[in-house]
Structure 1
Amino acid sequence: MSTPRTLTLPDGVHPANLETDRGTFATLMAVPDVGTPLGTVLLVPGWTGSKEDFTPLVDHLARYGWRTVAVDQRGQYETPGPADPSAYTLAALGADVAAISEALGGYSQLVGHSFGGLVAREAVLIEPSVFSTITLLCSGPGAFTDQVTLQGLQLLAFGLDNLPIEQVYDMKLSHDSEAPQYIAPPADIAEFLRERFTQNVPISLAEITRRLMDAEDRTEKLAASGVRAQVLYGESDDGWPLPVQDRMAELLGVRPKVIPDAAHSPAIEQPATTARLLTEFFHDR
């Protein structure tokens, strides 16, 4: 989950519902002020996140000349989803992203953050023809393997299956606030974080939590897809271990790009640098 620094949308960034063959998705969109867009960037958020994780990045990418669209995945925050576990497999979520790209005209520059990287990879494997590139932003090759992380995910999934989601959030917040690095956000941001978490479809959040425990490593299949790939992460990213991300990059035949002074949420922590590295990759033929 990324923590926004402000809830005020930059000029030119606006919410919009996007109709696709697989349903309606809540988005934040921006287009360049002048000229024809260079293309479309499609941003997919991660576990417990939302389109708001990309707000400053949407603005920066539009200033570089790209139509930019950040989405809530199905069952995530402002996008509805069914109370059916089978709707939240990586294949189902990846098919959604492919349908979103197709609805936007195809050939998207696809960026998946954290868990969104697993979904983005799946989308490329399902329908590579509708993507120009894929960037795995602070993401990994598959499920987490660290036992402490897995135990935490198991507890959260169990709570979501058995308790009101509001209670799960309060328990998670209590746990997170005990960490030495925890900094309490301003009141309006704290209210948004609680609202976002509790508006998730509980089954959706429980199932994508399980995907972080059971996702297969499909890096070699992505390497064979023909879609150009990039691995990009903050220099102090605390998601997947950096050697794991480096190995993923090696299998993809690329060198990882590192964002200075950023951790697991570079779209918020260093949006200007993140946008520059992304656009350099988009233009690098």
Structure 2
Amino acid sequence: MSTPRSLTLPGGVVPATLETDRGSFATLQAVPDIGIPLGTALLVPGWTGSKEDFTPLVAELAAFGWRAVAVDQRGQHETPGPEDPAAYTLAELGADVVAMSKALGGYSQLVGHSFGGLVAREAVLIDPSVFSTITLLCSGPAGFSDEAKRQGLEMLAFGLENLPIEQVYDLKLDHDSKDPSWVAPPEEIAAWLRRRFTANVPVSLASITRRLLDAEDRTDELAKTGVRTQVVYGETDDGWPRPVQDTMAEALGISAQVVPDAGHSPAIDQPVATARLLTEFFHAR
């Protein structure tokens, strides 16, 4: 989950609904002030996240000349979703992203943050023809292997399947606040974070949580698609271990790139530097 610094949308960033042949998706979008966009960047958020995880990055990508579209996945925040766990497999979520890219004209520069990277990879494996590039941003090759992380995810998934989602959020917040590194956000942000979490379809969030436990490593398959791939993470990213991300990059025949002074959410921590890394990659051949 990323914590926004502000709830005010930057100039030029607007909410919009993206209609696809797999349903409607809530988005935040921006286009360059002048000229025709160089292309489209499609931004897919991660676990307990939303399109707002990319808000400052959407603005910066537009400033670099790109149309930027950040989405809520099905069942996530402001996008509705069914009450069926089978609707939240990686294959189903990936097919949504394929449909989004097609609705945006195809050839998207696809960016998947954290769990969104697993979904983005799945989308490219389903139909590589509708993506120009894929960036795995603070993401990993498979579900978490760290036992402490796995136990926490198991408990959260169990809670979401058996308790009201509001109670799960309060229990999670109580747990997180005991971490010595935890910093309480401003009251307005804290209230929004609670609203966002509890707006999720509980089945969706429970299923996504389980995907972080059982997702398989499909890095070799991604490498064979021919879609140009980028691996980026924050200097102090605490999601997947950074050596694991380095190894994934090596398997893809590339070197991971690091955003200085950023953690697990470079789009929030360093949006300008992140946009520069992304757009340099988009332009490369």
Equivalent runs, 1:180-219 vs 2, <5 Å:
180-219=180-219
C-alpha distance after superposition, 1:142-189 (max 9, x if no partner)? 010011000000000000000000000000000000001111001110
Measure the CA separation in 2 of the matches of 1:223 and 1:126: 13
Partner of 2:262: 262
Measure the CA separation in 1 of the matches of 2:284 and 2:158: 45
Partner of 1:170: 170
Measure the CA separation in 2 of the matches of 1:187 and 1:236: 26
Partner of 1:94: 94
Aligned AA (1:172): K
C-alpha distance after superposition, 1:248-283 (max 9, x if no partner)? 000000011000000100000000000000000001
Measure the CA separation in 1 of the matches of 2:33 and 2:260: 29
Measure the CA separation in 1 of the matches of 2:3 and 2:222: 30
Partner of 1:15: 15
Between the aligned residues of both structures, percent identity stands at 76
Measure the CA separation in 2 of the matches of 1:208 and 1:183: 26
Partner of 2:220: 220
Q: How much has 1:103 moved relative to structure 2?
A: 0.1
Q: Are positions 1:3 and 2:6 aligned together?
A: no
Partner of 1:84: 84
1:54 aligns to what SS in structure 2?
helix
Q: How much has 1:137 moved relative to structure 2?
A: 0.1
Aligned AA (2:255): R
Aligned AA (2:126): I
1:280 aligns to what SS in structure 2?
helix
Aligned AA (2:6): T
Aligned AA (2:225): S
Q: What is the aligned residue count? A: 285
Partner of 1:105: 105
Q: Are positions 1:280 and 2:283 aligned together?
A: no
Measure the CA separation in 2 of the matches of 1:123 and 1:3: 26
Q: Are positions 1:61 and 2:95 aligned together?
A: no
Partner of 1:157: 157
Aligned AA (1:268): I
1:182 aligns to what SS in structure 2?
coil
Measure the CA separation in 2 of the matches of 1:235 and 1:12: 29
Partner of 1:32: 32
Q: How much has 1:196 moved relative to structure 2?
A: 0.3
Measure the CA separation in 1 of the matches of 2:271 and 2:76: 23
Q: How much has 1:87 moved relative to structure 2?
A: 0.2
Which 4+ residue blocks in structure 1 deviate beyond 6 angstroms?
Answer: none
Partner of 1:146: 146
C-alpha distance after superposition, 1:84-132 (max 9, x if no partner)? 0000000000000000000000000000000000000000000100000
Partner of 1:247: 247
Aligned AA (1:15): P
2:41 aligns to what SS in structure 1?
strand
2:220 aligns to what SS in structure 1?
helix
Q: Provide the TM-score with structure 2 as the length reference.
A: 1.00
Note the residue ranges of structure 2 that are not aligned, 5 or more in a row.
none
Measure the CA separation in 1 of the matches of 2:65 and 2:143: 35
Measure the CA separation in 2 of the matches of 1:249 and 1:256: 6
Measure the CA separation in 2 of the matches of 1:34 and 1:8: 23
RMSD of aligned residue pairs (Cα, Å): 0.3
Q: Provide the TM-score with structure 1 as the length reference.
A: 1.00
2:109 aligns to what SS in structure 1?
strand
Measure the CA separation in 2 of the matches of 1:273 and 1:180: 28
Note the residue ranges of structure 1 that are not aligned, 5 or more in a row.
none
1:167 aligns to what SS in structure 2?
helix
1:248 aligns to what SS in structure 2?
helix
Measure the CA separation in 2 of the matches of 1:278 and 1:23: 28
Q: How much has 1:223 moved relative to structure 2?
A: 0.2
2:83 aligns to what SS in structure 1?
coil
